[in-house]
Structure 1
């Protein structure tokens, strides 16, 4: 039975082992693959068994020497790295990341939206001020991250201007990294200048090509949205492309990830973020066969990405690869899936506090209100967000996945859906590890564009080639 510390898998027809507690990927051949199978089965080598497979004594002795060195280093031990995947909160938590819902109104009617499509409220300016004051007090001079959210936040441009002015008045503007999540349908010169002047990063929601987008994300009156977004991309967003990531939500209607990836590449954007639709609607969520198709296309994208990266060809970075790949490096590694158990809050239009923007609107998940002193005790109430699959503890990729998205775990709360979401995550992580190994093996310097020059220069790569012995 496979240990949860050593995971054997294949990518692109090649065999690999992943050491979960050491964050190491190892390229294997027929002999070294048998060695790791033996370790999972016996906890050691079985030389006689290796001889029975007609491997030469010379090869067996060489792999035995390498295996014993790895064993002496302790990389097979379950306690090689001791991580707490739930990232227990300290008594004095730092809160420096906030998603602020400027409005719950939206001009689109996306088929999978987990928010109320009939929103009508805008956030009170007093709530904005209270939120900024809270961040100033609880960020302890660290950088502050503010994501402007909705609904569609660009329906409330006056509130955005007020928030920017308040940040300056409170003396924190130079510490704030601003971002906005927008559907891209509302754009003009004034908005463009505000985004550019304030260096606001943009998460642009786009579900793929013309047909994919128009089915998933029509206007409320049923009108197609792609043509409007396409025009805004050409006239405005391309001028801000170094600050843009594209976020796409996958349903039955746009399960061909390659079409989405090609559309992002066509626009010359750098990052493509892929998420499943968070829904139990059988008309939207993927079937088992469609899941298999997602994996097949994911491998096609991965092969294309590897080729372009190792040959220094510009291409979008698929999030289902890079978000896991960077977990190989301690200085980039997260101790939780996101900031939900750590430094993040979300504020709705009424000032209610949540640990994550995806839970906004669920009354049972409210932690407090930004206008109340109770907000200072919100850390004591976050346990309700620690929603994990019971199988996480013994999962081979638990130190990379860290339990996954709490909202996905909350929505997909029956065994079948839990297995579905976990299996997809595991397969994407395998793809990511395979991509990492192929880049390390062919052109490791290409990792600089993924992990950064500082990380690449100061941390050893987590790759070992045992496929030549």
Structure 2
């Protein structure tokens, strides 16, 4: 799909072969949730997927996979999917494992307030992976992710962390940075490490109203983490903040793009755009390009499990995005990432601005301060000839013969 048609931003001319069959999907089992997160994007009305719809959705994916050769994949999502443990997750998993053995990849995204050891045992036995969303210590969790009655969810979740890590030792600590608790970001990163996590992923809520003071607070927090990273590297340990890992990987790309005066790449097969093999299936069996959209906007609806994908709807959605025309904070002026920018999350772009090509300012700012911190770390540890960091960096992010950190 990297063609003259895309250069002209006219994806309506792309034929059906440019849009693969959907073989991977988030199943929106319910819009309900025990928690009332301050930044939740889900309209928590009373909608639930029936078992029959879930079964039909699974069979829809398997039929598509027979045509494409891709392994089908389901992520149980919500709302809170564990609310439908007995009605959908458990019986559908048994059906899939009996009928298709290991052909299906299965996972659950959960806040884990309903998680038990029995559920974890079942997940392990049936090869179901887990993404557990938690934002940090008690003060942070109480503000960001309370129950509907206002009570904190922390006291229920903290004792579950060792139990969950016993079954999923490589699980990522997935946290949202909410403006009122941004001042605790570094503390929450250390909290994750101290609780035994080897991987972290922190992302700001781009829909908060971040002013300069708030942004400076977050920058200071990230600077503290950078110093913590350096200190640990000097002691022989790499602390994995996945966001930072991704930015480390971009440094060689940035250098190459600037050295060769390259323009921003054309990107068409992108998450949330309806051009890939992944999507979400709503409680009533409609197919959406992104899991954030079933309760938000019909623009992202691209078919249903009974009639299949709607090619014209997929073309229309794809035609609204042009990676070479995306813009963000300060119209990208002086942004070091400009030449390699992929346009960020198109769903968040749309929810923030009603445009697929307009990146939220806070997303840009977060990426920029991550890059600044990554360059600082490279300069400090590079000048010290730190072998632990050098091996980590070159083994993962810079395979070229030019073994230059920045």
Query: TM class, shorter-chain normalised?
Result: 0.7 to 0.9
| Cα pair 1:101 1:149 within 8 Å, conserved | yes
Partner of 1:153: 81
Q: 1:371 aligns with which of 285, 297, 306?
A: 306
Partner of 2:91, secondary structure, is helix
Which string of whole-angstrom CA distances, capped at 9 and with x for unpartnered residues, describes residues 383-415 of structure 1? 266373274699541454411111332233299
Mapped pair 1:389 → 2:327: yes
- Corresponding residue for 2:216? 292
CA contact (8 A) 1:208 1:254 kept: no
Residue by residue, what CA displacement relative to the aligned partner does 1:175-211 show, whole Å, maximum 9, x if unpaired? 3332221112112232111222233332211111101
Write the distance in 2 (CA, Å) between the matches of 1:233 and 1:270.
Answer: 13
Q: Which residue of 2 aligns with 1:110?
A: 37
CA 1:401/1:307 → structure 2, altered by over 3 Å: closer, same or farther?
Answer: farther
* 3-state SS of paired residue (1:181): strand
Determine which of 319, 343, 360 is the counterpart of 2:242. Answer: 319
Q: The residue matched to 1:367 in structure 2 has which SS?
A: strand
Q: Are 1:123 and 2:49 counterparts?
A: yes
Tell me, in whole angstroms, the C-alpha distance in 2 between the residues paired with 1:431 and 1:447: 16
Does residue 190 of structure 1 match 2:118? yes
Matched length: 369
Name the residue aligned to 2:262: none
- Written as runs of structure 1 = structure 2, the 5 A alignment for 1:25-40 is none
Structure 1's 199 and 305: CA in aligned 2 closer, same or farther, altered over 3 A? Answer: farther
Contact 1:207 1:254 in 2 (8 A): no
> Which secondary structure does the structure 1 equivalent of 2:210 belong to?
coil
1:201 and 1:243 in contact (8 A); partners too: no
- SS of equivalent to 1:133: helix
Distance 1:411 1:462 in 2: 41
Aligned to 1:54: none
The partner residue of 2:199 within 271, 276, 294 is 271
* CA contact 1:98–1:346 (8 Å) conserved in 2: yes
SS of the residue corresponding to residue 99 of structure 1 reads: strand
Give the structure 2 partner of residue 60 of structure 1. none
CA distance in 2, matches of 1:306, 1:245: 21
Larger radius of gyration: 1
Q: How do residues 159-170 of structure 1 correspond to structure 2 at under 5 angstroms?
A: 159-170=88-99
- Residue by residue, what CA displacement relative to the aligned partner does 1:210-239 show, whole Å, maximum 9, x if unpaired? 0110111111122211000012223x2131
Instruction: Write out per-residue CA displacement over residues 28-65 of structure 1, whole angstroms, 9 at most, x where no aligned residue.
Output: xxxxxxxxxxxxxxxxxxxxxxxxxxxxxxxxxxxxxx
Choose the corresponding residue for 1:205, options 133, 147, 161.
133
Q: Determine the C-alpha separation between the residues in 2 that align with 1:97 and 1:170.
A: 18
Aligned CA distance change for structure 1 residues 208 and 440 (closer, same or farther; 3 Å): same
Aligned partner of 2:370 in structure 1 is 428
Instruction: Name the TM-score, length of structure 2 as normaliser.
Output: 0.78
Q: Per-residue deviation at 1:244?
A: 1.7
Change in Cα spacing, 1:379 to 1:192, as seen in structure 2 (3 Å) is same
Shift in alpha-carbon separation, 1:364–1:215, aligned structure 2, 3 A: same
User: Deviation string for 1:47-94 (max 9, x for gaps)?
Assistant: xxxxxxxxxxxxxxxxxxxxxxxxxxxxxxxxxxxx99x9x8852525
The verdict on how the C-alpha distance between 1:301 and 1:145 changes in structure 2, with shifts beyond 3 A counting, is: farther
1:41 corresponds to which residue?
none
Q: Which residue of 2 aligns with 1:354?
A: 288
Does the residue aligned with 2:102 lie in a helix, a strand or coil? helix
Tell me the distance in 1 between the aligned counterparts of 2:119 and 2:150: 25
**Structure 1 runs not aligned, ≥5 long:** 1-82
Q: 1:402 aligns with which of 342, 359, 376?
A: 342
Pairs within 5 Å for 1:64-143? 91-93=18-20, 95-117=22-44, 119-139=45-65, 140-143=68-71
Change (3 A) 1:134 1:462: farther
Within the candidate set 188, 209, 212, 1:260 is matched to 188
Residues 1:142 and 1:307: Cα distance change in structure 2 (over 3 Å): farther
Classify 1:138/1:305 alpha carbon distance in 2 versus 1 (closer, same or farther; 3 Å). Answer: farther
Cα RMSD (Å) of the superposition? 3.5
Give the distance between the partners of 2:131 and 2:267, measured in 1 at CA. 24
Cα distance in 1 for residues equivalent to 2:404 and 2:336: 19
Where 2:157 maps in the other structure, the secondary structure is helix
CA gap of 1:133–1:300, structure 2 versus 1, over 3 A, is same
